[in-house]
Amino acid sequence: MEYNVVHYGATGDGTTDDTAAIQSAIDSALAAGGGIVFFPAGGTYIVSQLNVSEGLIIEGYGATVKRPANQSKWTRTFTTTVAGYLYDGSADSKPLIFQGLTIDGNRQNQGAYRNYELEQAHLIFLMGNAANSGKLRAVIEDCYFKDCVADAISVYTNVSVQISNCTAVDCFRGGVVVTGGYSDVHVNNFKAHGTVHATGIDVELDGPGYGNTLKTDITMNNLYLPDGDFDVAVLQGSTFTGSNIIVNKPPFNLYAENSTVKIMNSVFHVGVLDDYLDRVVSPYDVTFQNCTFYAHKPAGTTGNRSIACIHLFQFGNANQTLRFLDCDFKADSSVGAADTVYAIYFEGDQLAKNNRVIVEGGSISNRFNYGLYWKFGGRAIVRNTYVEASTCFYFGVTSGGYDYDVTLDGTIAKNHTKLLEIAAGNSSCKLTTKNIVLTESENTLSLGSGATSVSYGGGRLIQGNSSPISRSVPGLPHDVFRLNTAVSGADYEWVCTTGSGTAATWKRRTTLGP
C-alpha cells in the first residue's frame, strides 16, 4: 500500500516542518507491516529526523527532503537507531528501501562542523542491533545527497546494504561511510564529488557488530570520485573488492590488516609522501590488477615535494602479500619538474616478517625519479616490468633485520640514468637477477659502502663490443659480460667476481673455438 506523506499533512513547501506529518505516514506503514511511503514530486519536505525501519519503501523521485537549519550532532535525517525502530532480529530483516529522493543536508546553515562538531549528523544512518545475528537489509537507489555536514550514507553494525545509482556532493565526511562490523556493503554506479568537500568513500571500521567483530565485506564497482578521497581501512578478516574505480585526486588511502583487498581496472591519483593519508598500510592480501596510479601534487601544495604512488607501510605485521599485476605508474601534470617522484616507496620492513611485494608486468614511466625505492629493506619480486625511472631500483640503508631480499626477473629498464643504486647492504641482504639482458650503456650502477656484502643470486647479461677487462665496466657479482659479435678463437664471455659501480672485476669465462 502507498502512504502519501501529503495525505498525512506534509506540505512540501520548503518552509513548514513536515517531520511529524511524514513520521505519521511512516508509522502508519510500519503498523501495517510496511509499505510505500510516497513523497510526491516537486515538493521540498523540511525534516529534522525520521525514524525508519524494515519493510518500508521510501519513494521520492523528484522530491527533496531537506534539513532545517542548526540541527544537532545526533540528529540524522533518516535513522534506524531509535528504540522501536532498531532492527534486532536473529535473521536478516525485510528490506528498507530508499528510492529517488534528493536529501539536502543544508550544510550552509548548520553552524560549525569542520572540526567534526557535527560528525554524527548523517543523512541516512543504518544499523542493526549488534546483540543479535540478524542484519538490517537495505537498498538505496537513484538517490542524490548534497551538502551534508557528516556522512551522506552511513553504515554501522549489522547491516546488509546495496547502494546503486546514487550521487553525493559536498558531503563533509563522505558519500558512503562504513564504520561498523558484521555488515556487508555493496556499492554500484556511485559518484561522489564536490567543490567544498571531495566527499569520496570512507571505510573505517571501529564499531563491533554481532560477535564483537569488526569484519565487514564490501564490494564497490563503477565508482567515480573526480575530486578524490578514497579511504578504505578494513581489518579482522574483512574483504573489499572493487573494479572500475576512478579517483582523480588524492588522498588515496588503504589499510588492510588481516584483510583481503582486490581492486581491478581502476585509476588512482595519489598525493604527497608525507601526507598521513596517502598510504598503503598492512596489506595482508592486497592485489591491484590492471590499474594505473598517477603521482599527483594537490593544488595549493607549496614547495618541491616528495610524491609516491604507493607509500607502503608493512607496519610490523607478518606474512602479508601486496601485488601489482599489470599496473602502470605515471605522474600527472600537477607534478613539477623539481618534485621528487617515486612509483613505490617501501618504508622499513624486516625480512623475518615474511612480507612480500610482487610487481608483475606493467610499467613505470620516465617521469619518476625512483622506480622502486626501499628505504630500509623489504622483500619483493619484480617481474617483466618496464621501468623508465631515472633511478630504476634503489636500495637504502639496512640494519637490525631491516634488510632486503629482492628478485628482479625479466625487468626491462630504459632511458634511465641509473639502473641500480645500493646505498648499503649487509650479508642478510640478497639481490637476485634473472632474465635480464642489458646493453652496456644501460648498465649504470651506484654501489655504496657495504654493497659488496650483499648476496647476489643469478646474473645479468650485459652486452658490449669489447672486453670489460682493463676498462671501467660496472658489475654485480655473477653478472656475465658477452660480446655482441662473436669472433672465432677469441674471448667471448666474462664473469664479474667483485662488484663495483664503476669498475668491477671481470674474469674470462668463455673463449670460442676456431
In Å, how far are 187, 265, 294 from 243, measured between CA atoms? 11, 6, 17
> Cell 549488534 appears where?
130
Number of amino acids touching other proteins (CB under 8 A) = 17
Q: Which residues contact 493 (CB under 8 A, 6 or more apart)?
A: 480, 481, 482, 483, 508, 509, 510
Smallest distance, other proteins to C-beta of residue 27, A: 7
Smallest distance, other proteins to C-beta of residue 8, A: 5
Smallest distance, other proteins to C-beta of residue 33, A: 8
Contact criterion met (CB below 8 Å) for 164 and 193: no
Closer to other proteins at the Cβ: 20 or 82? 20
CB neighbourhood size of 369 (10 A): 18
Cis? peptide before 474, omega within 30° of 0: no
Q: Is 238 helix (H, G, I), strand (E, B) or coil?
A: coil
Smallest distance, other proteins to C-beta of residue 174, A: 35
- Binder of other proteins out of 6, 196, 277, 281 (CB under 8 A): 6
Closer to other proteins at the Cβ: 35 or 194? 35
Smallest distance, other proteins to C-beta of residue 100, A: 16
The dihedrals phi and psi of 147, each to the nearest 5 degrees, come to: 50, 60
In Å, how far are 11, 156, 463 from 18, measured between CA atoms? 7, 27, 80
> Cell 667483485 appears where?
498
The CA distance from 369 to 490, in Å, is 41
Closer to other proteins at the Cβ: 35 or 425? 35
| Core vs surface per residue 50-77: b (16+ CB within 10 A) or e | bbbbbbbbbbbeebbbbbeeebeeebbb
Kind of pairing between the strands at 480-483 and 491-498 = antiparallel
Closer to other proteins at the Cβ: 42 or 489? 42
- Binder of other proteins out of 4, 304, 415, 466 (CB under 8 A): 4
Smallest distance, other proteins to C-beta of residue 7, A: 5
The CA distance from 126 to 486, in Å, is 74
- Binder of other proteins out of 3, 98, 394, 395 (CB under 8 A): 3
Here's the x/- map for other proteins, 472-511, by CB under 8 A: it reads as: ----------------------------------------
Closer to other proteins at the Cβ: 27 or 88? 27
Span near other proteins by CB under 8 A; candidates 3-11, 186-194, 203-211, 265-273:
3-11
| Helix (H) or strand (E) segment spanning residue 27 | helix 19-31
Closer to other proteins at the Cβ: 28 or 435? 28
> Cell 623475518 appears where?
352
Closer to other proteins at the Cβ: 3 or 329? 3
Span near other proteins by CB under 8 A; candidates 6-14, 64-72, 100-108, 438-446:
6-14
Smallest distance, other proteins to C-beta of residue 42, A: 9
CB neighbourhood size of 332 (10 A): 14
Smallest distance, other proteins to C-beta of residue 220, A: 38
Strand partners, 128: 87
Closer to other proteins at the Cβ: 9 or 316? 9
Kind of pairing between the strands at 404-409 and 430-434 = parallel
Smallest distance, other proteins to C-beta of residue 173, A: 35
Closer to other proteins at the Cβ: 6 or 267? 6
Q: Which residues contact 461 (CB under 8 A, 6 or more apart)?
A: 436, 437, 438, 479, 480, 482
Would you count residue 1 as binding other proteins (CB under 8 A)? yes
The dihedrals phi and psi of 30, each to the nearest 5 degrees, come to: -65, -35
Smallest distance, other proteins to C-beta of residue 18, A: 11
Residues 15-74 interacting with other proteins (rule: CB under 8 A): 24, 27-29, 31-33, 35, 40
Closer to other proteins at the Cβ: 24 or 222? 24
Smallest distance, other proteins to C-beta of residue 73, A: 30
The dihedrals phi and psi of 294, each to the nearest 5 degrees, come to: -110, 125
Span near other proteins by CB under 8 A; candidates 2-10, 304-312, 335-343, 493-501:
2-10
The dihedrals phi and psi of 451, each to the nearest 5 degrees, come to: -65, -25
Smallest distance, other proteins to C-beta of residue 43, A: 9
Closer to other proteins at the Cβ: 43 or 242? 43
Closer to other proteins at the Cβ: 9 or 14? 9
Span near other proteins by CB under 8 A; candidates 8-16, 66-74, 246-254, 264-272:
8-16
Contact residues for other proteins (CB under 8 A)?
Answer: 1, 3-4, 6-10, 24, 27-29, 31-33, 35, 40
